[in-house]
Chains A and B, each alone.
Chain A
Amino acid sequence: MGQTIIEKLVSAKLGSPAAAGDVVWLPQDVVTARDFGGANVVKNFLAAYGADAAVFNADGIRFTFDCNAPANTAGYATNQQICRDFARRRGITVHDVDAGIGSHLLIEQGLAIPGITAIGTDSHYNILGAVGALGQGMGDVDVAYAFHTGQVWFEVPATVRVNVSGKLAPNASAKDLTLAIVHHFGSGGLLGRAVEFYGDVVETLDLPGRITLASMATEMSAVIAIIPPGASVLDWLGGRTNSPVETITADPDAKYVDEVTLDLGVIEPMIAEPYSPASVRPVRIVAEEGVRIDTGFIGSCTNGRFEDFNEGYAQLEDGGVAAGVTLKLVPATREVYGQILSEGLIEGFFQAGALIHNQGCGGCAAGQVGMTGEGEVQVSTSNRNFRGKQGAGRTYLASPATVAASVRAGRITVPEAKR
């Protein structure tokens, strides 16, 4: 019988056929823990297996300190040190507070390639679906178990096949497409499912655009959204690893739980209003209502690549951030920071009035960048705008272009076409 991508991927890992609904013990190529959850992983591991217990494979484990980097509370600093101590004793690599977002590091370093399995204490680890890998965010009990055994239990999800048709307006980008899709399915609309995305508008996305779309699978409660890598993504990945890089494709007779055709027409800039990533309307409509803003944020695992900053930059080239408004920038990784620097964007952003922070997760979790106060209005490129998540204010989610155009105007604004 034909298999979906996730069924093929899991079958290849197990060396025996697996189908949706099967519960399997799935070997992991990479197991990671962040500063968020990492100390709990260590604590669980030591309590369950003893102070001298070995990990399954030190090379397959990473710590990534991206949530609170550098630590701005003594609690986080202590937790990071607990992880460092544990790692040093066992020869595990630590990507410290200067490295950036763990999931992005796995992609940059060629560890995340099609067909691999990875888990981490990061609910957006399914972002690895952007490169055809099976990434899963898991809690600290799962990760502690995987540190010891190299595997996790996994119920192979049923797959929804989604064909997206439509065309990005000249002032729209992957985030607008993503928000339109989240709006269509709703917060729990793909609960417990794997998703395969097809269609020209998806297949022509570059890797950063695919990362944006894959990252928000979590916001639809999907297990993972896989965007089968095309030639350009495979080329890029091939430059980062010595392992063979080959896309896993679904069989023509694969069995899907649902097949959805989504015709989005001309996709215009979209924005998610507080307090749900699925409360999406066109920026055009929201802009007409006159929403004054206090601050903007460009960054996060969803929109923290060089291309995202470049997209925002284009909106600021002939005008800066409005008086009384701030713009905070957080590159996803050190590599991205380096690109922004070498391409000359930092000078321009500085002149435009932006604040440029060190790489990491920025305002998500309890980060130090992008918290809002009671009554404060933020437009952010991140992926969640739950009440209270980024402080007491109101957060709107939008593309880098919309964020930049809005901080320039001081209110939510439709970006200009720059492509």
Chain B
Amino acid sequence: MSRMRITGSAFPLVDASGALLDNIDTDMIFHNRWLHITELSEMAQHALGNLEGYEDFAARVKPGSWVVAGRNFGAGSSRQQAVDCFKALGCVGVIAISVAPIYLRNAINAAMPAAQIPDLAGAVEPGDVLALDMEAGTLTNERTNTVLQAEPPISSVQVEIYRAGGLLRME
């Protein structure tokens, strides 16, 4: 099988100074008042609805975007909706300096590419085309032509589940 290379356009989540936001928690991503929603299509509009400055994310983000963030992305609850809401918007996946463990699992299980890139700070501008090579565990910024390494590396199980199209499609 050919290498799995996923390409999308960067949508960085940043503070006023332009630095990637750390500790974006699951209540900022998908607030607990919407937890009763089980339909993917209804989840989309609430994505990042509780993150200051990004309340209108659902209207602004274009399909094919990478959600790009700082440290400890997705800290907090186990809600799958915090992954599903991005999928519902057609986002490609999540690239962050680090990702909270439960969030990372949920992304992997939903076959949403997610990678932890320690050297991400300052390396991505809005709209940059980023290509994630799932097997090599590398992220290429096609504008700057830099290659960054995922660390910890993307695990074999993540690749396997991605290839199957999600945990629930695994044999």
Inter-chain CA distance A175–B120, complex, in Å, is: 35
Q: Does A187 contact B (CB under 8 A)?
A: yes
B22 with A79: CB separation less than 8 A: no
B75 with A188: CB separation less than 8 A: yes
- Bits for A341-381, please: 1 = Cβ < 8 Å to B, else 0: 00000000000000000000000011000000000000000
B33 with A366: CB separation less than 8 A: yes
B113 nearest CB across to chain A (Å): 15
- Bits for A116-129, please: 1 = Cβ < 8 Å to B, else 0: 00000111000000
B170 nearest CB across to chain A (Å): 8
Interface centre among B28, B36, B72, B105 (most CB of A within 10 A): B36
Chain B: CB-nearest residue to A43: B38
A386 with B38: CB separation less than 8 A: no
Chain B: CB-nearest residue to A223: B101
Inter-chain CA distance A139–B37, complex, in Å, is: 14
Q: Does A155 contact B (CB under 8 A)?
A: yes
Contact of B78 among A121, A153, A386, A387 (CB under 8 A): A121
B27 with A79: CB separation less than 8 A: no
Known contacts: A191-B101, A366-B32, A386-B25. The answer to whether A141 contacts B72 by CB under 8 A is no
**Which residues of A sit under 8 angstroms from B166, Cβ to Cβ?**
141
A362 nearest CB across to chain B (Å): 13
Q: Does B77 contact A (CB under 8 A)?
A: yes
Q: Does A261 contact B (CB under 8 A)?
A: no
Interface centre among A44, A76, A78, A188 (most CB of B within 10 A): A188
A79 with B28: CB separation less than 8 A: no
Q: Does B50 contact A (CB under 8 A)?
A: yes
Known contacts: A137-B102, A142-B106. The answer to whether A37 contacts B80 by CB under 8 A is yes
B97 nearest CB across to chain A (Å): 9
Interface centre among A121, A139, A141, A142 (most CB of B within 10 A): A139
Q: Does A145 contact B (CB under 8 A)?
A: yes
**Which residues of A sit under 8 angstroms from B16, Cβ to Cβ?**
none
Q: Does A315 contact B (CB under 8 A)?
A: no
Q: Does B35 contact A (CB under 8 A)?
A: yes
Inter-chain CA distance A36–B32, complex, in Å, is: 10
Q: Does A15 contact B (CB under 8 A)?
A: no
B interface, over-half SS = loop
Chain B: CB-nearest residue to A221: B100
Interface centre among A40, A221, A223, A387 (most CB of B within 10 A): A221
Q: Does A66 contact B (CB under 8 A)?
A: no
Contact of A188 among B78, B100, B157, B167 (CB under 8 A): B100
B71 nearest CB across to chain A (Å): 5
Known contacts: A188-B71, A276-B23. The answer to whether A138 contacts B32 by CB under 8 A is no
Chain B: CB-nearest residue to A391: B33
B79 with A37: CB separation less than 8 A: yes
A188 with B98: CB separation less than 8 A: yes
- Bits for B43-62, please: 1 = Cβ < 8 Å to A, else 0: 00000001010000000000
Q: Does B5 contact A (CB under 8 A)?
A: no
A138 with B71: CB separation less than 8 A: no
Contact of B101 among A39, A192, A384, A386 (CB under 8 A): A192
B105 with A142: CB separation less than 8 A: yes
B28 with A141: CB separation less than 8 A: no
Chain B: CB-nearest residue to A364: B32
B103 nearest CB across to chain A (Å): 8
Q: Does B90 contact A (CB under 8 A)?
A: no
A188 with B102: CB separation less than 8 A: no
B32 with A144: CB separation less than 8 A: no
Q: Does A389 contact B (CB under 8 A)?
A: yes
**Which residues of A sit under 8 angstroms from B79, Cβ to Cβ?**
36-37, 139
- Bits for A28-50, please: 1 = Cβ < 8 Å to B, else 0: 00000000110110011001100
- Bits for B15-33, please: 1 = Cβ < 8 Å to A, else 0: 0000000110101100111
A191 with B28: CB separation less than 8 A: no
Chain B: CB-nearest residue to A388: B50
- Bits for A198-234, please: 1 = Cβ < 8 Å to B, else 0: 0000000000000000000010011100000000000
Q: Does A75 contact B (CB under 8 A)?
A: yes
B78 with A145: CB separation less than 8 A: no
A221 with B50: CB separation less than 8 A: no
A364 nearest CB across to chain B (Å): 8
Inter-chain CA distance A112–B69, complex, in Å, is: 36
Closest 7 CB pairs of A and B: A75-B36, A188-B72, A139-B106, A139-B80, A48-B168, A141-B109, A137-B78
Show 22 A/B contacts (Cβ-Cβ < 8 Å), sorted by A: A23-B155, A37-B78, A39-B38, A67-B35, A76-B36, A137-B78, A138-B78, A138-B105, A139-B105, A141-B106, A141-B167, A142-B109, A145-B167, A153-B167, A188-B75, A188-B100, A191-B72, A218-B76, A221-B101, A223-B101, A388-B28, A388-B31
Which residues of A line the B interface, CB within 8 A? 23, 36-37, 39-40, 43-44, 47-48, 67, 73, 75-76, 78-79, 121-123, 137-142, 144-145, 153, 155, 187-188, 191-192, 218, 221-223, 276, 365-366, 384, 386-389
Q: A123-B76, A144-B168 are in contact. List 12 more A-B contacts (CB 8 A).
A: A23-B156, A79-B36, A137-B78, A138-B106, A141-B110, A142-B167, A145-B168, A187-B75, A222-B101, A276-B23, A366-B32, A387-B50
